[in-house]
Structure 1
Amino acid sequence: MTSHIILPAPIAVNRPAAPGPVVVSVPHAGRIYPPEILSAARVDRCALERLEDRWCDRIAAGAHDAGAAVVTAFWARAVADCNRGEGQMAPGEVAPTLRAQFATPGRKERAGLGVVPTRLADCGPLWKQPIDRTALEWRLDRLHRPFHDALAGEIAAACARFGFAILVDLHSMPTIPPGQPGHGARIVIGDRFGATAAESLAALAVASASALGEPVLRNQPYAGGHIVRTHGRPGDGVHAIQIEIDRSLYLTAEGLPDAGRIGWLSRWFAEFIRKAGQWRPDAQFLPQAAE
């Protein structure tokens, strides 16, 4: 795929003047749609925008000043899903020549939510043609691989400075409907059931989110995706958590950012990043009594 239009870079890395051990990942809030993507789509842009964690990058706006390096995807999730692995696709969603390498799809891949999103409820297929090798490699090379390379670089830099690193992967979620696991939760902290972060860090995140006065769950229904699973290695000093925030907490009914609510969540997130920056792997977290 080629383009004559000059687009902003697919990702950005915003480093603080005084770096701490925290790296923030914002993989799904991108709002830039390259012309190649729009021309390949069989649905309109509004349908593709349903894939976005809409405007959640605004919540991370203060993380840089709080001492975190922030890695943000500017290109949309419709290009490639950085929270899926390169092998996460269903064979029925790709060209015949690619099917052998995607022989064991999971539930999300079968639903069309693989490393290239291919279907949405009420939309049907998103693309005019099955994803072929050229399209797949272009999407991975332009967005997915640079994003993970940037994350790995910032994590390695933090480990070199401090001997450990903390990765906070920020997402937003639709309101969890009645009857679904986790219904009622407005914020979900995921650590892959203890596999990607020390218990004290996950407890710190849960306590910090609970202070907002909103219902918080841990690992239900979102335990953490490819980003925390890949980069979170507590045994090697890399502790990773995923944070999901209900979009109704900061978007209007029309899906637009509510400035007051976004400011509220941004201040909370920056304060959590400051607290996380003071955390150490040997810390024992003890919740404080209400003041």
Structure 2
Amino acid sequence: MEYKRGVYLYTLPEGDMAPSVFDVPRSGREYPLGFHSTAPFNDVHFLVSQYVEEIWARAPQSGSGLLYATFVNNWIDANRGERDIDPALLFEPWPEPLDPTDKSNRLGMGLIHSKARGHALYPDKLSVAEVKHRIEHYWRPYHTRLAELIEERRQKFGIAFHLSCHCMGTIGPVTAHDHGLRRKDFCLSDRDGTTSSREFMEAIAEAMRKRGYSVTFNDPFKGAESIRLHGKPEAGVHSVQIEVIKELFMDEESFQKKPDFDKVQEDLAGVAADIAAYARSQAR
């Protein structure tokens, strides 16, 4: 294993490396000493994609690498863009142009989260220096390492396959277009065909369906920064975001693992093995 304290944990592939790498950017549970929030902890922690690094923990057994961001996403969100910052969160103007998205403006869930289930995360605004520190010491080192891992595979095999792994609420929340509806087991996203080939999406879906899971494409999520930043199918890098409903493996309010946790982990080990086999079949 490779560990960068407070930033990431990388589990090397076992045996022959496949041209595939998994990343888990929003499941970290390490709260930096500088993190101070006035919001209730259960609301702060609710947005952590808990246990995702565990349900995919066996991916390296079939030859894929697994990169896991260990810092909590409420500190800085590795699945948001560097310029996705709400200016209202800052004491002073940002020195360069910002590009806040709807996630920042409406939900307070941009690069730096400002809200947690309706509660303000911070009693005061943040300084530019504080936000830059988080970018330079957490967000950037994580994505730099992910880019290196992807490029290592592209150079060796002529192609690379990147899976960004997340979990989602089982029922669409009030802020979503699928409010009140039960979601399918998995959502596969490629930003409407811009970060991956359709063939790769179908290969992942087939691996899930044959194990009894339901799958949607780009609904309710299109895919965010991790695949936008790294997915370049025209250059041989195919990136797909994978969302799994929490109901399959954890209680959404108590954060406790469900009795079927081990079965889900075993099933996803099989899915990861099928992905690695597909990736090898596409190598030059």
Q: Is the 8 A contact 1:186 1:216 kept in 2?
A: yes
How many matched pairs?
272
Q: Give 2:26's aligned amino acid.
A: H
Q: Quote the residue 1:49 is aligned against.
A: 45
Q: Quote the residue 1:64 is aligned against.
A: 60
Deviation, structure 1 residue 50: 1.5
Choose the corresponding residue for 1:28, options 4, 26, 29: 26
Change (3 A) 1:58 1:88: same
Q: Quote the residue 1:257 is aligned against.
A: 257
Per-residue CA distance 1:200-255 (angstroms, 9 max, x = gap): 11001112222332332110011111000110000000001011000011003522
Q: Quote the residue 1:121 is aligned against.
A: 117
Deviation, structure 1 residue 67: 0.9
Q: Quote the residue 2:166 is aligned against.
A: 171
Per-residue CA distance 1:118-165 (angstroms, 9 max, x = gap): 112331x20122222111111112211111011001001111111110
Change (3 A) 1:131 1:211: farther
**1:131 to 2:130 alignment:** no
**Partners of 1:48 and 1:99 in 2: how far apart?**
29
Per-residue CA distance 1:101-129 (angstroms, 9 max, x = gap): 32x42211112111111112331x20122
Q: Give 2:124's aligned amino acid.
A: Q
Q: Give 2:257's aligned amino acid.
A: P
Q: Quote the residue 1:80 is aligned against.
A: 76
Q: Give 1:27's aligned amino acid.
A: P
Q: Quote the residue 1:203 is aligned against.
A: 202
Q: Is the 8 A contact 1:176 1:185 kept in 2?
A: no
Deviation, structure 1 residue 277: 1.8
Q: Quote the residue 2:231 is aligned against.
A: 232
Q: Is the 8 A contact 2:18 2:280 kept in 1?
A: no
Report the RMSD for the aligned CA atoms in angstroms: 2.1
Change (3 A) 1:109 1:145: same
Q: Quote the residue 2:10 is aligned against.
A: 13
Deviation, structure 1 residue 282: 8.5
Q: With structure 1 as the length reference, what TM-score do the two structures score?
A: 0.87
Describe the SS at the equivalent of 1:267.
Answer: helix
Structure 1 residues without counterparts, runs of 5 or longer? 1-6, 284-291
Describe the SS at the equivalent of 1:98.
Answer: coil
**Partners of 1:101 and 1:46 in 2: how far apart?**
34
Q: Is the 8 A contact 1:66 1:274 kept in 2?
A: yes
Percent of matched pairs sharing the same residue = 23
Q: Is the 8 A contact 2:17 2:64 kept in 1?
A: yes
**Partners of 1:73 and 1:184 in 2: how far apart?**
26
**Partners of 2:262 and 2:156 in 1: how far apart?**
31
Structure 2 residues without counterparts, runs of 5 or longer? none
Change (3 A) 1:280 1:69: closer
Deviation, structure 1 residue 48: 1.9
Q: Is the 8 A contact 1:79 1:143 kept in 2?
A: no
Q: Give 1:120's aligned amino acid.
A: A
Q: Give 2:21's aligned amino acid.
A: V
Q: Is the 8 A contact 1:171 1:243 kept in 2?
A: yes
Q: Is the 8 A contact 2:160 2:279 kept in 1?
A: no
